[in-house]
Amino acid sequence: MSASGDDPHPQHQHDLQRQDASPPYSPPPCEVDYKRYPSRFYVLAVTAMLAVVQNVAWLTFGPIPEQARTMYGLTDTELILLPRK
């Protein structure tokens, strides 16, 4: 743009003004019919149960590290990894 304010591309300036005046674009609503697969719920249930079992193992040995270490003769590292064995 020159110092006198002349735009070498007047069409470009007009396009910018038109874009500013238009409302924001919103895509048309589309309805998708999703299919429900029972196997997905089975996998979800199995994964949730595995997570519950893992958490129960962690909660069992978490609050009693000294007693578990003495009872089973484990080192700190072995006690930490016990629920993963």
pLDDT in tens, the chain (85 residues): 545 555 555 555 555 555 555 667 777 788 888 888 999 999 999 999 999 998 887 787 667 778 878 888 888 888 778 766 5
Domain positions in the chain are: 47-85
pTM for the predicted model, two decimal places:
0.41
User: 23-57 burial by CB neighbour count: b if 16+ within 10 A, else e?
Assistant: eeeeeeeeeeeeeeeeeeeeeeeeeeeeeeeeeee
The predicted-structure confidence for 41-55, as pLDDT tens digits, reads as follows 999 999 999 999 988
| pLDDT at residue 17, as a whole number | 53
